[in-house]
Amino acid sequence: MDQLEPLSTNNSLVFSLITSLIITSILIIFFTSIFPYLTSCFHKLFSTSLFCSCEICQAYLTSSWSKDFNNLCDWYSHLLQKSPTKTIHIHVLRNTITANCENLEYILKTNFENYPKGKPFSSILGDFLGRGIFNVDGELWKFQKKMASLELNKNSIRSFAFEVVNNEIHHRLIPLLKNQNEVALDLQDVFKRFSFDSICRFSFGLDPMCLEKSLPMSDFALSFDLASKLSAERAMVVSPLIWKIKRFFNMGSEKELKKSINIINMLAKVVINQKRKMGFSNHQDLLSRFMSTTIHDDMFLRDIVISFLLAGRDTVASSLTSFFWLLAKNREVESEILSEAERVIGVGNNFGVTNFEQLSKLHYLQAAAYESMRLYPPIQFDSKFCLVDDVLPDGTRVKSGTRVTYHPYAMGRLEELWGEDCLEFKPQRWLKDGVFQPTNQFKYPIFQAGLRVCIGKEMALMELKSVAISLLRKFRFELEETSSTTTTLGCDNPRFSPGLTATFAFGLPVFVRERGTDCEA
């Protein structure tokens, strides 16, 4: 035993030395890397008027607004309606929110260069969207917009999109909805699956088959949903310090977000590699078209396509959900849509449209779609960041670094813009002598406006109208009486979940009734 004591002592010394080195290394890393980072974050946190005592900021911080409103967007609408300039301030967020048309034109067009997406926004969505078109500014944005515009304006890509959408409608969506008479079906979930299948086929040439009758959900779809949700939640916190610390230590929601993005990245890498091996010159999907250009950076390709996937999937699903909810509550509008379809398409076994020309003649349907999005825009608000101190047209002073948000949801509820009947669902407000008439894009910024106007607008409308006319001529949708989509506070609005796009918190439970071949309402 005596011979073992020196050895034991030496081991103890070595262990103590290693432990000391580890602790010293941790302290060095902390004070050289982590401590300055935390100090910077705390400095930013306490320089943003976190403890503002004004009524609006206190209502936001304590969530006391929820006593009267089920949705934050409805509270903002209420505040903007009362504001003489249609502009308000949330000081604790350094956020100026406006529903003023002149302000919108100034921000999105006149002084566009002073109101980019900005680094704060890019950092929030950076892990998810990377360098995609919806998350960048400057030359990188201009390059992607020019490239995407050239592709999306081609007749070949529009025809391909029309083919994909109608194939999904007639081979999956309609068969799924048949024989559902006795079961309440979540129509929002169905539309999410439909739009995810469609946009994946259009963007990647990939079919996740989420709308098969067994309603499977792929790992990619689940990861995409979770990444979108958790990225949106970053923007809801009072300070980015909170999510940045969680990301640094890979904990909680940030750990989940990282896992989801890893799955998305792995699939994107596999798809890109497969296309490169098989060749992509004869493929019609968006990714193949981009790969046939000068872009050879796989992560850049991934970022571009993921951005289009986000825009094309969630916005269409959101628009379809609110549209069918409104139609179920306004049967006279549904009847008028069906009457117009009989005049334009005719009566018979063809329940959908066969070409773009037929779609363009459905003026009342177009008006109903626009009216639905006026009341329930898929993107309820959008933000920019002020680069240099400025003054908006309504006299509002904006300091550098301030987040400036325009609010389409609130704008659709302003009497000054839409009249005393602004809360009513009236497609006829968009018609003149039976012909659809668009309005000023800064009054109706549903597809953004100015230089960043949505380049996929026409294809999104094509998808929405194709689904609507095909399903309405085939089925009648009745809201489940016990549905919790509406509030209990006398406000006939759905309750929304936090997210990048408007989503009904409780889904859209409906009973699906198949019509006779005469398509009567």
What is the spatial distance between Cα 153 and Cα 144, in angstroms, rounded to a whole number? 14
Q: Is 41 annotated as a binding residue?
A: no
Contacts of 257 (CB under 8 A, 6+ apart): 127, 128, 226, 227, 230, 231, 247
Q: For residue 332, what pLDDT band results from cuts at 50, 70 and 90?
A: very high
Predicted confidence (pLDDT) per residue in 275-289, tens digit: 888 776 667 888 888
Predicted confidence (pLDDT) per residue in 154-165, tens digit: 888 889 999 999
CB 385 within 8 A of CB 120: yes
Q: Which two tokens stand for residue 408?
A: 């389409």
CB 352 within 8 A of CB 497: no
Q: For residue 216, what pLDDT band results from cuts at 50, 70 and 90?
A: confident
Highest mean pLDDT among 120-129, 398-407, 511-520: 398-407
Q: What is the rounded average pLDDT of the residues 203-227?
A: 87
Q: For residue 308, what pLDDT band results from cuts at 50, 70 and 90?
A: confident
Give the angle subtended at the CA of 145 by the CAs of 142 and 150, to the nearest 5°: 125
Q: Is the pLDDT of residue 504 over 90?
A: yes
What is the spatial distance between Cα 471 and Cα 187, in angstroms, rounded to a whole number? 12
Q: Which two tokens stand for residue 215?
A: 């309603």
Q: For residue 495, what pLDDT band results from cuts at 50, 70 and 90?
A: very high
Q: In what order do the strands lie in the sheet containing 87-90?
A: 87-90, 95-98, 403-406, 382-385
Predicted confidence (pLDDT) per residue in 377-401, tens digit: 999 999 999 999 999 999 999 999 9
Q: Is the pLDDT of residue 358 over 50?
A: yes
The reported pLDDT for the residue numbered 28 is: 56
The region of weakest confidence among 4-18, 288-302, 467-481 is 4-18
